[in-house]
Amino acid sequence: MYVSVERQNQLQMYHLRGDSLEPTPSYVLTTLTETGNLRPEQMVGPIHVHPKGHAVYIGNRASGTIERDGKKYAAGGENAIAVFQIDQGSGEPRRIQAIDTHGYHPRTFSIDPSGRMLVVANLQQMPVRNGDDVTTQPATLSTYLVGADGRLTYVRSYDIETNGRTQWWGGFARL
């Protein structure tokens, strides 16, 4: 069983023994690329195992703000999907990729039932400061192709108008 530990930015893996979990995780890994550079409100969120069971995906999300000149801006941090390859014998996860979500606070993501596509729903729009310039990064749906090894390839993002609100869910449904 793979667990997303939100405030510690960790992926934990527990072995199942019969009808119960072992009392301690077999593996504990950070989900972050820059472990020593934590920003306000940096945490992990959704977690999914690929339908074929060879990869686990976990969302790193950062939506903290800093104030400057009386205005709030993105504080930075990692908004990425961390990809872990699963050892088929032991279940041990090994991080093989972290890919930008092209938005802020990936609230949810989903893998299509065939395992070929992943879509991330980035929660909110965010003012971003770049030097003296300020732009607004909109909420987005970002799409990725899933490779045979589980790695993601970015395809494109779709801006989502939220009228200052947030989007909470995104997923695939068979029709």
116 pLDDT exceeds 90?
Answer: yes
Phi, psi of 70 (to 5 degrees): 75, 10
| Residue 84 belongs to domain with CATH number | 2.130.10.10
- Residue at 169 is within a domain: no
- Residue at 98 is within a domain: yes
Q: How many domains does the chain have?
A: 1
Which residues, 6+ apart, have CB-to-CB distance to 127 below 8 Å?
Answer: 71, 72, 73, 74, 134, 135, 136, 137
Residues facing residue 111 across a β-bridge: 118
- Residue at 72 is within a domain: yes
- Residue at 167 is within a domain: no
Summarize pLDDT for 32-82 with one digit per residue, the tens: 998 777 777 889 999 999 999 999 999 999 988 888 888 888 888 899 999
Question: In a 10 Å sphere around its CB, with 0-12 CB exposed, 13-18 middle and 19+ buried, how is residue 123 labelled?
Answer: buried
Summarize pLDDT for 136-169 with one digit per residue, the tens: 889 999 999 999 999 999 999 999 888 877 766 7
User: Could you tell me the residue range of the domain that residue 149 belongs to?
Assistant: 2-160
- Residue at 18 is within a domain: yes
Beta strands in the chain (DSSP E): 2-5, 10-13, 16-17, 20-21, 27-30, 42-49, 55-62, 65-68, 71-74, 80-86, 93-100, 104-111, 117-124, 126-130, 133-137, 139-146, 152-160
125 pLDDT exceeds 90?
Answer: no
- Residue at 172 is within a domain: no
- Residue at 170 is within a domain: no
- Residue at 175 is within a domain: no
